[in-house]
Amino acid sequence: MLGYVVQRILATIPVMGFVALIVFLLLRLSGDPAAMLAGDAATPEVIARIRENLGLNDPLYVQFFRWIGEMLRGDFGTSLLSGTPVTTMILQRMEPTISLALTTIFLSVIIAVPLGVLAAWKQGTLIDRFVMLLSVIGFSVPVFVIGYMMIAFFAIELRWFPVQGFRPIGQGIEPFLSRITLPTLTLTLLYVALIARITRTSMLEILNDDYIRTARAKGLPEGKVLLRHALRNCSVPIITVIGIGFALIISGVVVTETVFNLPGLGRLTVDAVLARDYPVIQAVILLSSLVYVVVNLLIDIAYVFLDPRIRYQ
Amino acid sequence: MSMATPTPELAAAARADRPSALRKIRDVVLSSPIVLVATVVLVVVVVASVFSPWLAPHDPTRLTPALRLRPPDGTYWLGTDAFGRDLFSRIMVGGQMSLAIGVAAALVAVAAGLVLGLLAGFVRWLDGILMRFVDGLMAIPNILLAIAIVTLWGAGFWTVLFAICLPEIPRVVRLVRSVVLSAREEPYVEAAIAAGSSTFLIMRRHLLPNTVAPLIVQGTYICASAILVEAILSFLGAGINPETPTWGNIMAEGRMLFQINPGIILWPGLVVSLTILSINLVGDAVRDALDPRMAKRGIER
Amino acid sequence: MSAAQGENVLDIRGLHIALDGLADAGLVKGLDLTIRPGETHCLVGESGSGKSLTALATMGLLAPVLKCTQGQILLNGEDVLTVSPRRLRRLRATAMSMIFQEPMTALNPVARVGRQIEEVLENHSNLSPRQRKGRVMEMMEAVHLPDIERMYRSYPHQLSGGQRQRIMIAMALIMKPKLLIADEPTTALDVTTQAQILSLVQELREKQGTAVLFITHDMGVVAEIADRVTVLKLGEVMESHPTEQLLRHPRTDYTRDLLQSVPSHVPRPPRPDSGTPEVLRVDGLNKVYVEGGWFTKGRETHAAKDVAFSLKKGRTVGIVGESGSGKSTVARCVMRLIDPTSGRIEIGGTDIATLKPAALKPHRRKFQIVFQDPMRSLNPRIEVGESIIEGPLNFGVSRKAALARARELMQLVGLPASAVDRFPHQFSGGQRQRIAIARALAMEPEVLVADEAVSALDVSVQAQVLRLLAELQDRLGLGILFITHDLGVAAQICDDVIVMKLGEVVEYGPAGRVLASPRHAYTKALIEAAPGRHWDFANFRPFAEETPNAGPHGAAGSAH
C-alpha cells in the first residue's frame, strides 16, 4: 500500500516535467522573448542587451533547466503589464476561483450521482432519457451562453441576484452566496453532464456483474443491491471522472469569471491574453496543471480506501 | 484500463446482410425522432452557412451606423449589431468559419492521433515517452492551452486550428493505442505472427480496421468540441481575428452590449448550441449503430 | 395441495422460456423436472440446451428480456413464477439458494467475505449481531475453510478460486434451504479443487438434507455425484432416469452419442514407435517473468523451468497440468510468440529459441498453432479463405495456387470448398476450429501446437475435432504438441505425456505408463481427482467390469 502511494507520487514527476516542457517549448517557439519584452520600438542593440541579460544565448536545455529552477523557487517573473511579481498577482486572485471551483464540485456531485444512479436503474425509461438529454445539452451549450442566459433570466428579469461581481465569504455569507450562486449554477450544468453520464455508464456495467446477481440471489431488496453493492463499486470510476473533469472546471472557470466579472485567476488570464502578458499566462498554465495533477494524485491515493484490491497489493 | 475486445460478433452481425452504406446512414438517421430532428438541423445549418453568399438576406459586412442595435423586425429578422449589420446574415456567414474549424479539427486530430497511437501501441520504447507526453498534455486545461498558443503565436486560422486540435489529440492517441493493445492479444493476430506476416501487414490488415469505427465516432465528438472551443476562444478575445465573422466573434462583440441587446449573444448562442447538440446526438446514434459497447470503452466526449 | 406434490422439493411442469415477444422460438420447451428432498439431480446438456436458464428461472433471476411463457415451477408446492416479488425475495436463501460458475466474479470485490455471508442473516433472520457472527463462523467451519477468523475479514481477491466457492456455498446454505441450485460450480476450477468442492457439496447435502439441482456439461461429474439425471438438448428433455440406469441403458441416440463422446481416462494402447525422425526438440527451456519493482528487486516468476522433451514425426506429445502450471507458456515459447529466457528449441535441427525475427521467418512455416477460443482465433472482418492464405502468401505462394489449396484444405477438414468465401461468424465453434486447423495446415507444417484446442467445445464436437486431428496426423505425419488440462483427452490421443506443476515438469513418459501407473504424487492426485474416472462411458459400464485386455473405445481412440 505504501509502495503504491509512493509509486503514484513519483509518477507525477514526469507528467509535470512534460507539462513544463510543453509550456517552455510553446514560449520559445513563439518568437524572441527579448523582442517581446522590449516592445515594438526597441532598437536591435536594446534587444541584444536584453537577450544577454536573460541568458537567451545559452543552449536551449540550459535555459530550460534554469527556467524550471526559477519556477521551483516560486519565481514566475514579473508581469509585463503592471510590473508586479506574478506570484503576488496570483495569490491576490485565488479566492474567487477557489470558491467557485469548490461550490461547483460540491453541488455537481450531489446532483449528478443520484441522477446517474437513477438513470441506470431505470434504464430505457423516460427518466433515463431525460438525464441523458440533459447531459448531452450540458456538453453542447457554450458555458458563457448558459451564463448569459442565467443573467438575463435570474438577474435582469427576476432580479433575484446581482448581475455580476464577487464578495469574499469573509464579508458575510449572504452577499457571498448571492453573487456566487449564478456562476456556480452555470458551471454546475457542465459538470453534472459529465459526472451523471459516467455514473450511469458505470452503474449499467456494474449492474451486469456477477456479484449483483449473487446479491439478488441472497434475497436482498433492490435498494440494498443498488446502494450497498453497486454504488460502492461505482465509486472508483465516479471519483476518477471527477478528477479528470477538473481540467474541464478550470477551463470553465476562466469563461465563467469573465461572464460574471469575478476578479479571479480566470479574469487575470483573460486580461493577460488581451495584453499579451505572457509571464502571467505561463504561470497560470503551470499552476492549473499542477492543481490538476495533484487532485488526480489525491484521487489515486483515495482508491486505497475504496478498493481493497489496491490496499492489499 | 480493462477493455472488451473489439466486438467480432457485432461487426459480423452487421455484415451478415451487408446493407449498403446509404441504407446504414438511413437506418441511423431514422433510429429515433430526436436523431432525425438533429440531422435536419445539421443539414439546415450547413446549407445555410455554405450558401450564405447567395442566401443571406443582407450584406453581412455593410456598415449602416444609422441602423445600429435595431430590435428584430420584418427586415432585420434578428435585429442589427453595434455597426448596423444584419445579425441573421452574420450568423449565416459566421457558420462557414466555425464549421470549417470543426471539420478540420476533427480530421487533423484524428489523423495525428492515429499515427501517434499506432506508434505508441507498436513501438515499445516509444510508448513510455509518448504516453507521459500525452499525460502532460492532458494535464493542461484545454482552454488555457489554446489561449496560450493563440496569444503567443498570433490569431491566424492555422494557429487557432492548431490550438484547438492539440488538446484533442491525447484522447485519440489513447483510444487508438488501447484498441491496438487489446487487438494485439487476439489469437487471430498471434496466428498472423505465426504465419510469418510482417508487422506492417498485421497492422494494416488486422489492427487498423478495428480503429475505424471508434475513430469515426470520436471524430464527430471532436468536431462538436472544436466548434465549442472556437466560440469560447473568440469570446475570450483569443480567437480568429475579430474582423472575420465566426459565431464566437459575433457573440464576443455582444458582450459589452448585453444589457442593451442580449440577442447579439443569445441568438448565435442558440445556433451554436443547436449545432453542437445535433452533432453530438448524431455521434451518439452512429456509436450505438456501430457498436453499443463503445460507450463503455471510454469513447466519450 | 396434494400430498404427492408436497413430497417434491422442486417440481417444474411444462416450463417454457423464450425471448420476450418471441414465444414461438422457445429456448426451453416444455421442461418437466422433479427433485425429492435430499436428492442430487443433475441437469446435463451441451451449450444452448437451456440448463442454466432453467436454474435462473427457478431463482427468478432471468434477464428481463427472457420470459417464462408457460408452465409452473413449484418450490415446496408454491409456484415461484406467480408469487409476489417480496415473497420471492423471502424464498431466496431461505428456501432455495444458488451458487454460480465463476467464483472469481460472484463475490463483491469491495466487501469482506464474512460480511457478505452475514448479509444473508441480516436479511432473513432476527439474530443479534453477535449471534450472526457466531452462525457465520460455524458455517465457515462447516465448509472447511482454514483460519476462519482471518477468512472472515478477508476480501475476495485474497482467496483462491476454491476458497471463494466455499464462501459461496456457506452463503447459500447458511439458512438451511431445502434446495441448492449449483450452476456449473466447478467448471472454472482446477480438477483437484473440483473434487474437493464436489465432495463438500455432497457432505453438506447429507448433513442438512438439502436437495441439489446440479447443472453440468460433464458426464464425469454426473457419474460422481448424481442420484438422478435429466438430459437436455436445445431446450427439450431427452430423458430423465436414475444415474446408473441412464449411464448403462441410455434410451435416446442423443444420450448414447453424448456418452460415447466422453474420452476415457484409461490410456489407449501405445502406438508402435516406428523410429520416425525428430521434428521438435526442447532442451533446458526457461521462461522467467520479472515484475519490476522500483526500489526492491523485481519479483521473479518462473513460468517454465528446465523443460525438456522431444517430439517425433507422426507422434503426439501432451502437456497436462492445472492453471498456472506453465503448459501454455511452453507452447507459446515453442511458437516464439513469447521469447524464452534460456534454452534450446530445435525445429528440424535448427535452434530457433534465439533467432531474430528476420532470421526466424523462414522457419515459421514449419510450426503452426491452433488456439483455444474458436470465437477469437479468426479475424471476424475477413473471409476465412483470406485468413487461410495469409501465411502461404507471405512465403511467396501465388494467390491463385494458395486459394486453390485453401479449397482443398476445407474439404480435408470436412467443410465445403465454398466455405472460403464466407466470414467466421457464419460458422459454429467446432467449424471455426476446423478452419483454424486448415489455416495451420496451409503452411504444411511439421509441428502442430494445439493449445487447449478442444477445451472450449462441447463434448460431441470435441470428439469430432479430435478425430479429425488424428486422421490428419496419420495422413500427413504431423508431430502434434497437445496442451490440455483434461486427462481423459490426453489419455486418448497422446503417445507421450508431460505433467507440469508450477512451471516444473514433474513427470514425463509414455502416456500408458504415466497415466496408468503414475510415479509422482502430484500425477496420482490429478488422476484421482478426475471425476467419473471409474466409469467407461463409451461402453456404458464401470471399468471394474471390463475384461483385462479389451481395447478401450473412447471416441477419440476409435479413430485408430
Domain boundaries in chain B? 31-56+85-300
Looking at the 3D structure of chain A, how many domains does it have?
1
Percent of chain C residues topping a pLDDT of 70:
95
Segment C181-197, tens digit of pLDDT: 999 999 888 999 999 99
Interface of B with A in 232-261 (CB under 8 A): 232, 235-238, 251, 258-259
The predicted complex's ipTM stands at: 0.85
In angstroms, what separates the C-alpha of A40 from chain B's closest C-alpha? 15
Kindly report, residue by residue over A204-261, the tens digit of the pLDDT: 889 989 999 999 999 999 889 988 899 989 988 899 888 888 888 888 998 999 888 8
Lowest mean pLDDT among B11-25, C95-109, C388-402: B11-25
A19, A140, A198 ranked by CB distance to B224: nearest: A140
Q: Tell me the one-letter amino acid at C333.
A: C
- Asked if residue A69 is part of any domain, the answer here is no
Q: Kindly list the residues from chain B whose CB atom is less than 8 angstroms away from the CB atom of residue C369.
A: 190-191, 194
| Gap between the Cα atoms of B117 and B168, Å rounded | 13
- Minimal CA separation from A217 to chain B, in Å: 26
Give the number of other Cβ atoms within 10 Å of residue A53's Cβ.
Answer: 10
CA dihedral A192, A195, A201, A204 (to 10 degrees): -90
Give A 103-132 residues with CB within 8 A of chain C: none
- Residue C412: CB atoms within 10 A of its CB come to 18
CA neighbor of B25 nearest in space, from B282, B297, B294: B282
CB contacts < 8 A (A, B): 161
Interchain pair C425, B186: CB under 8 A: no
Which of left, alpha, beta for C144 (phi over 0: left; psi -120 to 50: alpha)?
A: left
pLDDT-derived band of residue C61, with 50, 70 and 90 as boundaries?
A: very high
Higher pLDDT, C499 or B53: C499
Residues with Cβ within 8 Å of residue C356, at least 6 apart in sequence:
none
User: A260-308: per-residue pLDDT in tens?
Assistant: 888 989 888 888 888 878 788 888 889 899 999 999 999 988 888 888 8
CA angle C172, C175, C179 (to 5 degrees): 60
Angle CA B251–B257–B260, to nearest 5: 125
Confidence of residue C550 (pLDDT cuts 50, 70, 90): very low
**Integer Cα distance of C560 and C466 in angstroms:** 11
Do residue B148 and residue A250 have CB atoms under 8 angstroms apart?
no
Q: Is A140 helix (H, G, I), strand (E, B) or coil?
A: helix
Picking from B142, B148, B236, the nearest residue to A270 by CB comes out as B236
Cell numbers representing residue C27 in the block: 429456448
Count the residues in chain C.
560
The CATH number for A196's domain is: 1.10.3720.10
- B15 contacts C425? CB cut-off 8 A: yes
Ramachandran region, residue C80 (left: φ > 0; alpha: ψ -120 to 50; beta: rest): alpha
Contacts with C199 (C-beta within 8 Å, 6 or more apart), sequence order: none
Kind and range of the H or E element at C290?
strand C278-291
Cβ burial, residue C2 (10 Å; 0-12/13-18/19+): exposed
CB contact under 8 A, C92 and A217: yes
Give a yes or no: residue A2 inside a domain: no
Residues in B closer than 8 angstroms to A16, CB to CB, are 136, 139
Residues of C in contact with B8 (CB under 8 A): 375-376, 380, 424-425
Q: How far is C336 from chain B (nearest CA, A)?
A: 8
Which B positions 92-151 lie with beta carbon below 8 A of chain A? 132-133, 135-145, 147-151
Put simply, whether C335 touches B (Cβ < 8 Å) is: yes
Residue type at position B25 = I
Question: Which residue of chain A is at minimal alpha-carbon distance from C101?
Answer: A210
Q: Is the dihedral of CA C125, C130, C136, C138 positive or negative?
A: negative
Ramachandran region, residue A77 (left: φ > 0; alpha: ψ -120 to 50; beta: rest) = left
Distance in Å, alpha carbon of C265 to nearest chain A alpha carbon: 34
The answer on pLDDT for B12 being more than 60 is: no
Residues C48 and C57: beta-carbon distance below 8 Å: no
Mean pLDDT to the nearest integer, C308-325: 93
HEC string for chain B: CCCCCCCHHHHHHHHHCCCCHHHHHHHHHCCCHHHHHHHHHHHHHHHHHHCHHHHCCCCCCCCCHHHCCCCCCCCCCCCECCCCCEHHHHHHHHHHHHHHHHHHHHHHHHHHHHHHHHHHHHCHHHHHHHHHHHHHHHHCCHHHHHHHHHHHHCCCHHHHHHHHHHHHHHHHHHHHHHHHHHHHCCHHHHHHHHCCCCHHHHHHHHHHHHHHHHHHHHHHHHHHHHHHHHHHHHHHCCCCCCCCCCHHHHHHHHCCCCCCCCHHHHHHHHHHHHHHHHHHHHHHHHHHHHCHHHHHHCCCC
Residue A64 lies in a domain: no
Tell me the Cα Rg of chain A. 24
Q: Which residues of B lie inside 8 Å of C (Cβ-Cβ)?
A: 5, 8-9, 11-13, 15-16, 186-188, 190-198, 201, 205-206, 209
Q: Angle at the Cα of A11 (from A9 to A15), degrees rounded to 5?
A: 115
Smallest Cβ–Cβ distance between C89 and the set A213, A221, A232 belongs to: A221
C-alpha cell at A270: 483573460
Q: Bridge-partner residues for C542, per DSSP?
A: C535
pLDDT tens-digit map of C3-37: 444 479 999 999 999 988 777 778 999 999 999 99
- In the sheet that holds C96-99, the strands lie side by side as C96-99, C179-183, C211-216, C40-45, C228-233, C236-242
Residue ranges making up the domain that contains A300 = 86-306
Provide the strand spans (E) within C409-446. Answer: none
User: Is the pLDDT reported for residue B58 higher than 80?
Assistant: no
Q: Taking CB atoms and an 8 Å limit, are B206 and C425 in contact across chains?
A: no
Question: What is the length of chain B?
Answer: 301
Architecture of domain B31-56+85-300: Orthogonal Bundle (1.10)
Write down the residue that cell numbers 417434491 correspond to: C8
The 3 state secondary structure assigned to B140-208 is CCHHHHHHHHHHHHCCCHHHHHHHHHHHHHHHHHHHHHHHHHHHHCCHHHHHHHHCCCCHHHHHHHHHH
User: Using 50, 70 and 90 to split pLDDT, how confident is the model at B19?
Assistant: low
Q: Please report, for residues A10, C43, C188, C326, the alpha-carbon distance to residue C291 in angstroms, rounded to integers and kept in the order given.
A: 18, 44, 26, 17
Integer angstrom CA distances of residue C386 from B94, C381, C423: 50, 10, 10
Q: How far is CA C423 from CA B17, B21, C405, in A?
A: 12, 19, 18
pLDDT-based confidence at residue C247 (cuts at 50, 70, 90): very high
Q: Are C7 and C77 in contact (CB under 8 A)?
A: no
Pick the closest to residue C217 from C556, C532, C452, C467 (CA basis).
C532
Residues C470, C493 contacting (CB under 8 angstroms): yes
The verdict on a CB contact (< 8 Å) between B201 and C379 is no
